[in-house]
A and B are shown apart, each in its own frame.
Chain A
Amino acid sequence: EAGVAQSPRYKIIEKRQSVAFWCNPISGHATLYWYQQILGQGPKLLIQFQNNGVVDDSQLPKDRFSAERLKGVDSTLKIQPAKLEDSAVYLCASSLGQGSYNSPLHFGNGTRLTVT
């Protein structure tokens, strides 16, 4: 089974620029998550989708971050404009569906963003 695919693997931008990350979940997984992981910390949830609807975006800084999952499969996360504190690894994960607590989340290897 193919895993969660993310691109790009690395990205370096200057502050105030914009950036976008892409995620392709495991086939058949209805739920998709974006996490932010700052160096030395555990991942923190930014947004959770169920198919193409948002379930939880309470931790997403909506003034600069946006995410979409238009067809219920692939997803993009965008930052505009970026700040120095956005330097982190952005992880995408997917799982079978809401309520499937007996089914694990599977993570991609993330995009490492450096804002200079």
Chain B
Amino acid sequence: DAKTTQPPSMDCAEGRAANLPCNHSTISGNEYVYWYRQIHSQGPQYIIHGLKNNETNEMASLIITEDRKSSTLILPHATLRDTAVYYCIVRGFGNEKLTFGTGTRLTIIP
């Protein structure tokens, strides 16, 4: 399984963009990068995923480097409700299940 490395914690001021990095240097060509978050007492919530190209949806943007060895999740205007643990996960052939690490605990500061 391709492993990911994330910082254990980050802070971001409310209203600013939150940029969460993830390293996945052993990713294979057919593996996707997925991002989930988990707010206290809830199940993991799907945010976004991508293969090669940058992706954007109503929640966030995902920037994947050209060599695909790292990515950044961007929450454009962070609110207090974005305080959560964010998981970066690599998923693909032979690794269909999601294997969670310890993630990044993001705290949005008023």
A-B interaction: yes
Binding site for B on A (CB under 8 A): 4, 31, 33, 41-45, 48, 56, 91, 93, 98-99, 101-102, 104-110
Set B34, B43, B102: member contacting A109, Cβ < 8 A: B43
Please report the number of residue pairs spanning A and B whose Cβ atoms sit closer than 8 angstroms.
53
By Cβ-Cβ distance, the 8 closest A-B pairs, closest first, are A42-B100, A107-B43, A104-B46, A109-B43, A107-B44, A43-B100, A101-B92, A45-B97
Docked-complex contact B96 and A99, CB < 8 angstroms: yes
Contact yes or no, B49 A42, CB < 8 A = no
CB-CB under 8 A from B44, the residues of chain A are 43, 91, 93, 107
Is the beta-carbon distance between B43 and A105 smaller than 8 angstroms? no
- Name the residue of chain B whose CB is nearest to the CB of A42: B100
Q: Which residues of A contact B45 (CB under 8 A)?
A: 107
Q: Tell me the bound Cα distance from A102 to B41 in angstroms.
A: 27
Q: Which of B43-74 touch A at CB < 8 Å?
A: 43-46, 49, 51
Interface residue tally for chain B (C-beta within 8 Å):
24
Q: How far is the CA of A48 from the CA of B91 in the complex (A)?
A: 15
B79-109 CB contacts (< 8 Å) to partner A: 87, 91-93, 96-103
Name the prevailing secondary structure of the B interface residues: loop
Q: Are B43 and A102 in contact (CB under 8 A)?
A: no
Least distance between B69 CB and chain A CB atoms (Å): 19
Contacts of B92 in A (CB 8 A): 101
Q: Which residue of B lies closest to A112 (CB)?
A: B41
Q: Is the CB of A33 within 8 A of B97?
A: yes
Q: Indicate the member of B43, B51, B100 with the most A CB atoms within 10 Å.
A: B43
Selected contact of A42 from candidates B30, B96, B102, CB within 8 Å? B102
CA distance A14 to B76 in the complex (A): 46
Find the residue from A31, A43, A99 having the highest chain B CB count within 10 A: A43
Q: With A43-B44, A109-B43, A110-B43 as known contacts, state yes or no: A104 contacts B34, CB within 8 Å.
A: yes
**B100 and A104 form a contact (CB under 8 A):** no
